[in-house]
Structure 1
Amino acid sequence: MNTLYVSDLDGTLLGDNAILSSFSKKILSELLHQGLQFTVASARSVVSMQVILKDLNLRLPVIEFNGAFISDLDSGRHEIINSICSSVVESIYKLILEFGCVPFISSFNGTEDCVYYKDVMNDGMRWHINERLTSKDRRLRAIEDLTHSFSDQIVCLTVIGHAQELLELQGAIIERYGSKVETHLMENQYSPGWYWLTIHDRKATKDQAIRTLVENYGLQESEIVVFGDQINDIKMFKIANHAIAVTNADAELKRYATLEIGSNTEDSVVKYIHHDWSNKYAFKSDFDVG
């Protein structure tokens, strides 16, 4: 039986510096050349993935924005777009404003990806903008009226703030629109103390995206092995044959894991893949994975 390996990025495949180590990149490149079926499923955009995964020859599309996009890594072209219904976007936007917050709005305008913002209301939002500017993210756009973005295909509303206020906002969104959207609330590990609440369409989940890849790329007979660290990985853990949590993973996610491996700072995901692949396919490598 063939195997499809799918890994989360931040806190899982990447080190604490949000970089794919030279060791992991070298091993993955070797295995991909041998025919490894591997891709990533992340809350990140394909724009940032292109920098992180540069020179990796991924034959399969990547899953970005938690499943809102399924995209070709090299070109950035979206094969699948799961956008939020425009009427739902308008209603949730008004609710966000009622809570005294202002979102970042991520979209596809028919030609290119965009991230719109208006007011910078806290240091968490400022960190995000500075990080985008530092990386020269071509998606970033400051506009006077965020509703002007609503003609785009909106894939994510991101609200950055303190945990308690976002927890209350998340509760209100779920109460009113829970059947239409998917929400995630997590701390930004690179800017501690600031939390991100992301709102996607209900079809934008990692498990549904993986199922789409399996169907579209003739992988129905493959076993699925996934790696993760956060609660937005729970749904893909539930559909996998083997759900593997890094040791630094959220305790809630570990409840759904079939195996726990080392931390994200130890190249644990790639070491596992290398060992598993070598056992299954008897490919020999010159690399010592310890």
Structure 2
Amino acid sequence: MKRLYVSDLDGTLLNQQAQLSDETVDVINRAIAQGLDFTISTARTPTTALKIVKPLHLQLPVMMMNGVLVYDMATKKYLKKEVMDEETVMVLLGLIKTRGLDCFLYGLTDDTFCAYYDSVESTSLNYFRNERIMKYDKKFTEVADLSLVAGKDIIYCMLREPKEKLEGFYRELSVVKGVKTEFYADIYSDEYYMLEIYSDKASKKEALNYLRARSHYDSVISFGDNLNDVALWEASDCFYAVANAHPEIQNMAHSVLPSNEEDGVAKYIEQVMQQSKEME
């Protein structure tokens, strides 16, 4: 039976410092070397995700930005991307400005990833941008107005504010055609929520189904922790939550593994490899 193992990053494979532990790197790399098919599915952008997973010897395509992008680790090319049309982006920007909010727009043109912003007055987004620049050398491009780049293959819109500042806008987005949303607590902050908006043709489920069909996998086992991992659960034959996962995710899971701080996913993978060895 051909089986694929897929893990979320933040809160699942990564520890609370948003890093891969030495144990996780060692276990995953040994498993890949022994023939286990392993990849990741994350909400992160290519700039940060690919740097974080660099210690892993990933050979399969990875899924990023909640399934908006599928990237081939072997060829360093994007296999799949879902773009929002210009009219939809303009509608989003109008709603965001009307509510006095700020956002980042992410685009992918000719395999070049771009992060755009205009006059960001949001303390939260400024902190987020500065942290990404310092930690990952992520490039942000300032424009006079985000509407000027609405037609540049925009794939994602991201907001980060206290929950009460975003939840009304989140509800309003339910009537906007052509978009899908994820609204969940930032696991690295008790104060902020993430609101991510992207094409309704994309999801972690759609990206995983694409990989499954592309390589003819008989089954998929996945791992997650947060509400945006519901789509992983939907596309998997078996889904495991880590002990630090959101209660709803734990209730959905086939079983609950040790937490991300305890290398729960790596421990499970190691157990799988041991059982495989004993059956030989």
Are the structure 2 counterparts of residues 262 and 34 from structure 1 closer, same or farther at C-alpha, using a change threshold of 3 Å? same
Verify the 8 A CA contact 2:51 2:136 in the aligned structure 1. no
Say if 2:122 is the partner of 1:107.
Answer: no
Structure 2 partner of 1:97: 97
Say if 2:234 is the partner of 1:206.
Answer: no
For residues 74-125 of structure 1, give each alpha carbon's deviation from its aligned partner in whole angstroms, at most 9, with x where no partner exists: 6652110011122111111111111111210011122410010122223211
Query: How do 1:43-54 and structure 2 match up within 5 A?
Result: 43-54=43-54
Stretches of structure 1 lacking an aligned partner (at least 5 in a row): 285-290
Verify the 8 A CA contact 1:106 1:115 in the aligned structure 2. yes
Structure 1 partner of 2:182: 184
Residue 253 (structure 1) aligned to one of 220, 230, 249 = 249
Query: How do 1:99-248 and structure 2 match up within 5 A?
Result: 99-177=99-177, 180-219=178-217, 221=218, 223-248=219-244
For residues 175-217 of structure 1, give each alpha carbon's deviation from its aligned partner in whole angstroms, at most 9, with x where no partner exists: 233xx21101122222330221100111221111011001112
Query: How do 1:37-76 and structure 2 match up within 5 A?
Result: 37-73=37-73, 76=76
For residues 1-53 of structure 1, give each alpha carbon's deviation from its aligned partner in whole angstroms, at most 9, with x where no partner exists: 22210000000000000000011101111111111100000001122122211
Percentage of pairs with the same residue: 29
**Mean Cα deviation higher: 204-213 or 74-83:** 74-83
Stretches of structure 2 lacking an aligned partner (at least 5 in a row): none
Cα offset for 1:281? 5.0
**For 1:121, what is the secondary structure of its paired residue?**
coil
TM-score (norm 2): 0.94
**For 2:183, what is the secondary structure of its paired residue?**
strand
Verify the 8 A CA contact 2:133 2:139 in the aligned structure 1. no
Count how many residue pairs are aligned between Structure 1 and Structure 2.
280
Verify the 8 A CA contact 1:67 1:203 in the aligned structure 2. no
Q: Match for 1:205: what amino acid?
A: S
Query: How do 1:277-288 and structure 2 match up within 5 A?
Result: 277-282=273-278
Cα offset for 1:54? 1.2
Q: Hey, what's the Cα distance between the residues in 2 that align with 1:131 and 1:75?
A: 29
Structure 2 partner of 1:287: none
